[in-house]
């Protein structure tokens, strides 16, 4: 009997080792969500993971992603899809929605966020993370980076950033009403901008995870713990538990890592999602893709401190065992505009002028009506935009432009914000169609190249490399692209343009200040990454 039992123990141990090395897969690539997707927050419901990132002045707001394995993610919707939920009229570039948090409690999903341009802190709820989400329930606490923590005694706390440190305040979860005093609970380890708080309870301790150092090259994640939710919090001896602002991080192509959230997988393993940015090359100190979402394994022994990926750094090529991988199918390169709605990847700048877009007016084409507002205005414009997700990409569109007026133009733009964009456009001048490559970098604005083209249809193409964007055109039936010009990527970098977003690729039309309501048609849009 004893012998049988030990054979059984040995066989199951062998199975578990085989599972670890054979079934659990080894290695994954970072970032897990590419292009402008900062401030990630994550929650798990059984075998499913949900993640939300910030979206600033873009509409709809707060993309929501789903995964079965933490490595492969698919967007399933947005939290804020109705104008009433997301007023963005007053949102300048990088205004609007700051860092969100996503939580699941008692059968309800919660997204907690701040609209810094209107209304402040709020949370929304949904029974299904694909939506619909409730209207915002506002919470009268001035701050950013809010989270909600449900304590075991039934009390609910709003956890937020504060200039002095992290604050914890009891609220009524039904109404959002503040029902207790604000407590400053921890200042972190002394880095600038203690923010991005998330609170967890484990092994009898409250753990408070922070971002510190600001969201640039000094960024980090730190953690403290306390037996009492209101503190005092003791700093981890491993702090900062994540940063590249040190010697081992100095040559890393990922910089600015910080602003993190923790999640425990069903198998008991712990993981961290965080933001970081890929510089255009090591030591270049320019990034154009915005802050993206990264994943790292966490070792968190019982009663001990969490340790991120061994030494508190992450890499593009992560050599670590993952959960069994469940990839999604890859998105198609071509968007033919033959569906009734645009895909989740498309965004508007501020609340959309809905009458200006149609997918049915000219079948199989996207119709965009011009507005007087231009790409230089911090206003709603006539454009659909998607993230640049890799340094190396090709974006191409076929456009039909039938304007007879000199104030009307349409084209493809690479836009970091309304003061920093490169536009490849078609415009009428002396009855001729002219292609222009236009630069807007702060107070500098000029036409870098121009050329007369024949006919009303043109293919416009942008190729991206880490250092340059290459702009070219071709006739509708030709694959023979002719180069219009090259521009440096660095002048669209966050280090030049400022702000919290990343480069977006847009299809747009404008009537340059004069209300004319012309129409421009886009047949398809190809986006290919290399």
Q: Is 361 a catalytic residue?
A: no
- Residue 92 interacting with ligand 6LW (CB under 6 A): no
* Residue 355, both tokens: 């009458």
Residue 170 Cβ, how far from ligand 6LW at the closest point, in Å? 23
- Residue 292 interacting with ligand 6LW (CB under 6 A): no
* Residue 381, both tokens: 């414009």
Q: Which is nearer to ligand 6LW, 192 or 339 (CB)?
A: 192
- Residue 261 interacting with ligand 6LW (CB under 6 A): no
Residue 347 Cβ, how far from ligand 6LW at the closest point, in Å? 16
First vs last Cα of the chain: how many Å apart? 60
Interface with ligand 6LW (CB under 6 A), residue from 259, 278, 350, 461? 259
Instruction: Report the DSSP beta bridge partners of residue 211.
Output: 195, 221
- Residue 38 interacting with ligand 6LW (CB under 6 A): yes
CA-angle at 102, arms to 101 and 108, nearest 5°:
140
Residue 87 Cβ, how far from ligand 6LW at the closest point, in Å? 19
Interface with ligand 6LW (CB under 6 A), residue from 195, 408, 409, 523? 195
Q: Which is nearer to ligand 6LW, 60 or 146 (CB)?
A: 146
Q: Which of 39, 409, 463, 523 is catalytic?
A: 39
Size of the chain in residues: 530
The answer to whether residues 222 and 189 touch, using CB atoms and an 8 Å cutoff, is yes
Beta pairing, strands 307-308 & 292-299: antiparallel
C-alpha span between 10 and 144 (Å, rounded): 53
C-alpha span between 144 and 119 (Å, rounded): 12
Q: Which is nearer to ligand 6LW, 32 or 435 (CB)?
A: 32
Closest CA to 196 of 264, 268, 144: 144
- Residue 210 interacting with ligand 6LW (CB under 6 A): no
Which residue is listed with tokens 């993610």?
Answer: 73
Q: Which of 57, 145, 147, 195 is catalytic?
A: 195
C-alpha span between 481 and 87 (Å, rounded): 41
- Residue 463 interacting with ligand 6LW (CB under 6 A): no
Closest CA to 530 of 76, 73, 26, 34: 34
Beta-strand (E) ranges in 300-362?
Answer: 307-308, 317-321, 334-335, 348-349, 357-358
C-alpha span between 350 and 343 (Å, rounded): 17
* Residue 523, both tokens: 């047949």
Give the per-residue contact string, 343-382, with ligand 6LW (x = CB under 6 A; - = no).
----------------------------------------
Q: Is 261 a catalytic residue?
A: no
Interface with ligand 6LW (CB under 6 A), residue from 215, 400, 416, 418? 215
- Residue 211 interacting with ligand 6LW (CB under 6 A): yes
Residue 53 Cβ, how far from ligand 6LW at the closest point, in Å? 9
- Residue 500 interacting with ligand 6LW (CB under 6 A): yes
Just list the catalytic residues.
39, 195
Residues making contact with ligand 6LW (CB under 6 A): 38-39, 54, 98-99, 144-145, 195-196, 211, 215, 258-259, 275, 500
């Amino acid at each position: 009997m004893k012998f049988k039992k030990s054979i059984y123990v040995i066989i199951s141990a062998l199975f578990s080792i085989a599972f670890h090395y054979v079934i659990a897969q080894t290695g994954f690539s970072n970032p897990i969500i590419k292009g402008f997707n900062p401030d990630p927050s994550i929650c798990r419901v059984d075998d499913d993971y949900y993640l939300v990132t910030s979206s600033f002045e873009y509409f709809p707001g707060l993309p929501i992603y789903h995964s079965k394995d933490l490595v492969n993610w698919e967007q399933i919707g947005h939290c804020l899809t109705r104008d009433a939920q997301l007023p963005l009229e007053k949102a300048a570039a990088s205004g609007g929605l700051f860092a969100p948090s996503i939580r699941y409690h008692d059968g309800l999903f919660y997204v907690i966020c701040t609209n810094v341009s209107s209304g402040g802190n709020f949370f929304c709820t949904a029974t299904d993370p694909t939506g619909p989400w409730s209207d915002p329930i506002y919470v009268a606490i001035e701050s950013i980076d809010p989270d909600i923590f449900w304590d075991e005694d039934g009390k609910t706390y709003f956890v937020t950033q504060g200039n002095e440190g992290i604050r914890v305040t009891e609220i009524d979860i039904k109404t959002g009403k503040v029902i207790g005093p604000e407590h400053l609970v921890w200042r972190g380890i002394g880095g600038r901008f203690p923010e991005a708080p998330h609170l967890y309870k484990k092994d009898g301790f409250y753990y408070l995870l922070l971002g510190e150092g600001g969201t640039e090259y000094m960024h980090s994640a730190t953690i403290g713990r306390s037996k009492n939710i209101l503190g005092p919090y003791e700093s981890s001896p491993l702090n900062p538990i994540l940063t590249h602002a040190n010697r081992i991080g100095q040559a890393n192509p990922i910089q600015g890592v910080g602003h993190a959230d923790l999640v425990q997988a069903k198998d008991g393993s712990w993981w961290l999602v965080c933001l970081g940015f890929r510089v255009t090359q090591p030591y270049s100190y320019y990034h154009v893709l915005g802050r993206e979402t990264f994943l790292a394994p966490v070792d968190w022994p019982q009663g001990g401190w969490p340790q991120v990926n061994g030494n508190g750094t992450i890499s593009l090529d992560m050599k670590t065992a993952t959960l069994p991988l469940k990839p999604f199918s890859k998105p198609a390169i071509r968007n033919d505009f033959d569906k009734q709605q645009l895909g989740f990847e498309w965004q508007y700048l501020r609340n959309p002028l809905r009458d200006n877009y149609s997918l049915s007016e000219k079948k199989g084409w996207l119709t965009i009506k011009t507005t007087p507002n231009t790409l230089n205005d911090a206003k709603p414009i006539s454009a659909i935009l998607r993230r640049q997700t890799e340094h190396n990409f090709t974006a191409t569109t076929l456009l039909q432009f039938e304007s007879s007026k000199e104030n009307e133009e349409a084209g493809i733009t690479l836009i970091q914000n309304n003061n920093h964009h490169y536009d490849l456009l078609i415009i009428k001048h002396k009855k001729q169609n002219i292609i222009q490559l236009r630069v807007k970098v702060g107070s500098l604005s000029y036409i870098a190249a121009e050329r007369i083209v024949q006919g009303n249809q043109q293919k416009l193409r942008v190729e991206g490399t880490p250092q340059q964007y290459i702009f070219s055109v071709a006739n509708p039936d030709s694959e023979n692209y002719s180069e219009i010009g090259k521009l440096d990527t660095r002048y669209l970098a966050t280090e030049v343009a400022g702000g919290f977003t990343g480069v977006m690729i847009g299809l747009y039309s404008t009537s340059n200040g004069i209300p004319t309501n012309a129409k421009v048609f886009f047949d398809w849009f190809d986006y290919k990454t290399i």
